[in-house]
A and B are shown apart, each in its own frame.
Chain A
């Protein structure tokens, strides 16, 4: 079983749509959680950290359920520029090593 599993995708949605990505992780010792965005042939860039209380950054909302070991990302009012691969990432904290999910590809269509 992979340490971090994500929706296989790809997701193709129209502009303005709301889209949700799900992610589960297997290591209960994981302490930090993130969503990264990766554009084609580029490095990953941090989209947002994910906190137990849930957090929002503009059109993006992240949720964490430690009991279920489940992370989600909600994108509202999708823009063309949101097209990318979204990576669910966990860390064991002190080791600062990141474990990446396989990513979910999103294409926002005009």
Chain B
């Protein structure tokens, strides 16, 4: 079946540094990918929609200059958390819709900012 991978699976960084997270669709093409964030004991919240070849669409309250999204190919979207701070520590998950109405989720990236 369709598989979505994420890299890295976890990262610890110092406050003020930038972190790039990759999301790849492994056996299908994804013109659209979604980025979610999940804080402990909360549900997934959509951050942005990544569109291949065009600008990402951000949800209300998500700073586009802080969370940079690039979707340069049909199988890769990247999320860069710029100047990360401890409050950005979270579980970041990407997903890609298939041709049907379902989505496959990546395994997530756990970010800890010290």
Residues of A within 8 A of B (CB): 32, 34, 41-46, 49, 87, 91, 93, 96-103
Q: Which residues of chain A have C-beta atoms less than 8 A from B46's C-beta? A: 97-99
CB A30 to nearest CB in B, in angstroms, measures 12
Inter-subunit contact B101/A43 (CB<8 Å): no
CB A12 to nearest CB in B, in angstroms, measures 16
CB B54 to nearest CB in A, in angstroms, measures 15
Which of chain B's residues has its CB closest to A45's CB?
A: B105
Question: Does chain A have a CB within 8 A of B60?
Answer: no
Prevailing SS type, chain A contact patch = strand
What interface size band does chain B fall in? 20 to 34
A102-B39 Cα distance, complex, nearest whole Å: 11
Q: Which residues of chain B have C-beta atoms less than 8 A from A98's C-beta? A: 34, 44, 46, 95, 103
Inter-subunit contact B43/A103 (CB<8 Å): yes
Q: Which of B12-20, B63-71, B106-114 interfaces with chain A?
A: B106-114
Inter-subunit contact A32/B105 (CB<8 Å): no
The answer to whether A49 and B102 touch (CB under 8 A), given A41-B110, A97-B49, is yes
Which of chain B's residues has its CB closest to A91's CB?
A: B101
CB A42 to nearest CB in B, in angstroms, measures 7
Q: List 11 A-B contacts (CB under 8 A).
A: A32-B101, A43-B108, A45-B105, A49-B101, A93-B101, A97-B34, A97-B46, A98-B103, A99-B46, A102-B43, A103-B43
Q: Which residues of chain A have C-beta atoms less than 8 A from B34's C-beta? A: 97-98
